[in-house]
């Protein structure tokens, strides 16, 4: 098996490193110490430096060592499509209403991603959306956004 770098984990570590650097930069402009007590910028600076050091250590370890040959991470295509479906569902909440947006997200996941027959897929999507509205809007009284057609 050829040694292949785990790009995903490197991206994850770099993203956290970037956040750590941002934290250090912002915290450096805040008050650090007054009298006997640390101020608003002190601990965020420490956290940022520590996080940067830890992510660098992970990055170095990952770049120096061969990836774990036994690690099977599975394909990323389907999780990315599911993630995109959630993002689209969230994006639709204020445009077409909570219930419709969630129904469409469910229908997409069942009928397109999972290739479940259209009728059972749509029925389960409708039942789940209805149950959600019943619990959150009717039972818990949460004002979930309505669509242009008032549901």
Partner 1 sequence: MSAFAELATGFASALTPWHLLMCFAGVFVGQLVGALPGIGPSSAIALLLPLTFGSDPTSAIIMFAGIYYGAQYGGTLTSVLVSVPGESSTVMTRIDGYQRALQGRAGAALGIAAIGSFIAGTIATLGLTLLAPPLARAALAFGPPEYFSLVMLGLLALAAVGGSLLKGLTAGFFGLLLGTIGIDQQTGVSRFHFDQVWLLDGVEFILLTVALFGVGEVLASCNMTSLQPITRVKNLLPTRDDWRASWMPILRGTGIGFFIGVLPATGATIASFIAYVAEKKLAKDPSRFGNGAIEGVAGPEASNNAAASGAMVPMLALGVPGSGTTAIILGALVMFGIRPGPELFDKNAALVWAVIASMYIGNVILLIMNLPLAGLFAQLLRVPYRWLYPPILVLCVAGVYSQSNSIEDAWMLVAFGALGWGMKRYDWPAAPMVLGLVLGPIFENSLRQSLVLSHGSASIFFTRPISLALIIFAALIVIAPACRRLYRGRAPAVA
Question: Is 36 a residue that touches partner 1 (CB under 8 A)?
Answer: yes
Residues 111-140 close enough to bind partner 1 by CB under 8 A: 114, 116, 124-125, 128-129, 132, 135-136, 140
Residues 37-76 close enough to bind partner 1 by CB under 8 A: 37-41, 43-44, 47-48, 50-51, 54-55, 57-58, 61, 73-75
Q: How far is the CB of 3 from partner 1 (least distance, A)?
A: 17
Cα dihedral 109→112→117→120 (10° resolution): 30
Q: How far is the CB of 5 from partner 1 (least distance, A)?
A: 12
Q: How far is the CB of 34 from partner 1 (least distance, A)?
A: 9
CB 60 within 8 A of CB 10: no
CB 144 within 8 A of CB 137: yes
Residues binding partner 1: number (CB under 8 A): 63
Of the candidates 125, 124, 144, 147, the one whose C-alpha atom is nearest the C-alpha of residue 135 is 144
Question: Is 23 a residue that touches partner 1 (CB under 8 A)?
Answer: yes
């Amino acid at each position: 098996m050829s040694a292949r770098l785990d790009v995903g984990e490197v991206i994850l570590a770099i993203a956290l490193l970037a956040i750590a650097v941002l934290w250090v930069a912002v915290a450096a402009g805040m008050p650090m110490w007054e009298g006997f007590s640390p101020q608003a910028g002190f601990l965020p600076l420490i956290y940022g430096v520590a996080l940067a050091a830890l992510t660098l250590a992970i990055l170095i370890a990952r770049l120096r060592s061969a990836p774990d040959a036994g690690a099977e991470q599975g394909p990323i295509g389907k999780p990315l499509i599911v993630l995109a479906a959630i993002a689209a569902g969230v994006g639709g909440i204020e445009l077409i209403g909570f219930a419709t947006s969630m129904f469409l997200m469910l229908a997409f996941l069942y009928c397109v991603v999972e290739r479940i027959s259209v009728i059972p897929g749509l029925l389960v999507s409708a039942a789940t959306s209805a149950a959600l509205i019943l619990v959150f809007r009717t039972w818990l009284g949460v004002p979930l956004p309505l669509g242009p057609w008032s549901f």
